[in-house]
Amino acid sequence: MKKIGFLFTLVVLAVCFTNCNSKSDEYIDPRGTDYAGSESCVQCHQVQYNMALQSSHFKATAPAVPGNVLGDFDEDDHTFIYDKNTRLVMEKRNDSLYQVLYKNGKEVEAHCYEIVFGIKHAQTSVYWRDNNTYELPVSFYNSINNWATSPGFPADKPYFDRMVVKDCYSCHASNISSRNVNQSSDQKNFLSMEVEDIIDKKTIVYGIDCERCHGPAKKHVEFHLKNPNVKTANSITSFKTLNRQQKLDACALCHAGNDGMKMKSRFDFKPGNNLSDFYRNTRSVTDTAQFDVHGNQFRLMSQSKCFINSEKMDCITCHNPHENASKNMASYSKICMSCHQGLKHKEQTLKMMPEKLMASNCVECHMPKKSSNAISFQLSNSKQLSNYILRTHKIGIYPANKK
């Protein structure tokens, strides 16, 4: 009897292991058969994965389920007024969220929140129509804790016809394409990734996930699960092996504007690639070039004397890419002071702020917050245009803060 029970247990375990292996083997990432999916990373990189999971990188896009959508849909301020006859109301309907347009008290049209973009500073949303996504006219802004017009949308007339093209997803998602193909990522073509004006929902990989920055990891995962004692990264690009420019390019892919002529899809970029192979810039990074504070962090940093005079400074010098930028200004000051030890400020500057406080507040003076000319918005029933406020990455001595 014991023998029968033992054999039965072995059979059950064998079936379980077979099923587990089959599920793993059957998994096909929308990016290609050489991808493993970020969930596979947690097996060996739990700390980094858990941090990244809560980051604005990971949440750059997400399904518009209630837990992912910013804003209170139950309070009095969930109505945007265009004029005395026209209003847009953020509403809950069953388990879904909608923007509903009313004219003279009658519902004209309603569109469901289906994908949300962003979470840290602001959040805009899109709905599906005819195999494409279209931006909703009102977004939520954390700085005012309220709704206002989506960037570039008018405050006097609602419209629902602005298509969100694939290039918008290239810095907010890890994949999107016109069709799902069971092939290696290097077999995909520019047409399906960029040109064809159709999106297959099944190809979306939300947010900036592990493999978007570290490259395809299928072989890497398989090797290390079979060889757990090997600590040297196998079959994947390690950032430790990249030179300074390669590290910068990996961040500049989405943090440098990239308004030049596109030669390859951003989705094809892998760590170690040269950004110059993807974009032919029409503007050089010079001391006189003006770059907006939104989306141009690398270009602004490149204009800084700190960066120009350093052989090692890169984005990771100040930021951990697995988590959100720290709100602790003193932590950045420590990085600044590692190169600027013994720095003395002029008496005029010391009158503005005590020296001890100044020593832990470098960023406020030398990387001040500035208005974005690229993103502006209007509040409900208001003609006043407000600008998005972001901290500049051009490190310098600014007129009001001269030493």
pLDDT at residue number 305: 93
Could you give the strand order of the β-sheet that contains 79-83, starting from the edge strand earlier in sequence? 79-83, 86-93, 96-103, 106-112
**Single pTM value for the model:** 0.86
Which residues fall within 8 angstroms of residue 184, CB to CB, at 6 or more apart? 32, 33, 34
Cα gap 153→141, rounded to integer Å = 14
* pLDDT confidence of residue 161: 96
Element at 319 (helix H, strand E): none
pLDDT given for residue 360 in this prediction = 82
Other CB atoms within 10 Å distance of the CB of residue 355: 10
Residue type, 308: I
Provide the residue-wise pLDDT of the chain in tens; the chain has 403 residues: 444 444 444 444 444 443 434 344 566 889 988 999 999 999 999 999 999 999 999 999 999 998 999 998 876 678 999 999 999 999 999 989 999 999 999 999 999 999 999 999 999 999 999 999 999 999 999 988 999 999 989 999 999 999 998 889 999 999 998 876 666 777 677 777 777 888 999 999 999 999 999 999 999 999 999 999 998 999 998 888 999 999 999 999 999 987 778 888 999 999 999 999 998 875 666 666 889 999 999 999 999 999 999 999 999 999 999 999 888 888 999 999 888 887 778 777 777 777 777 778 899 889 999 999 888 899 888 878 888 889 999 999 887 654 4
Cβ pair 264, 167 in contact under 8 A? no
The pLDDT, as a whole number, for residue 197 is 82
Looking at residue 11, what is its pLDDT? 42
Contacts 24+ apart (CB under 8 A), 281-287: 283/259
Beta strands 96-103; 61-63: pairing state: unpaired
pLDDT tens per residue across span 66-88: 899 999 887 667 899 999 999 99
Is residue 377 packed enough to be buried (19+ CB in 10 Å), middle (13-18) or exposed (0-12)? buried
Cα 160-166-169 angle, rounded to 5 deg? 90
pLDDT of the residue at 189: 75
27-63 per-position pLDDT tens digit = 688 998 899 999 999 999 999 999 999 999 999 999 9
Q: What percent of the chain has pLDDT over 90?
A: 59
* Residue closest to 55 by CA, chosen among 204, 208, 251: 208
C-alpha pair distances (Å), 134 with each of 34, 159, 254, 344: 31, 10, 22, 53
184-222 tens-digit pLDDT? 777 677 777 777 888 999 999 999 999 999 999 999 999
- Looking at residue 25, its pLDDT comes to 55
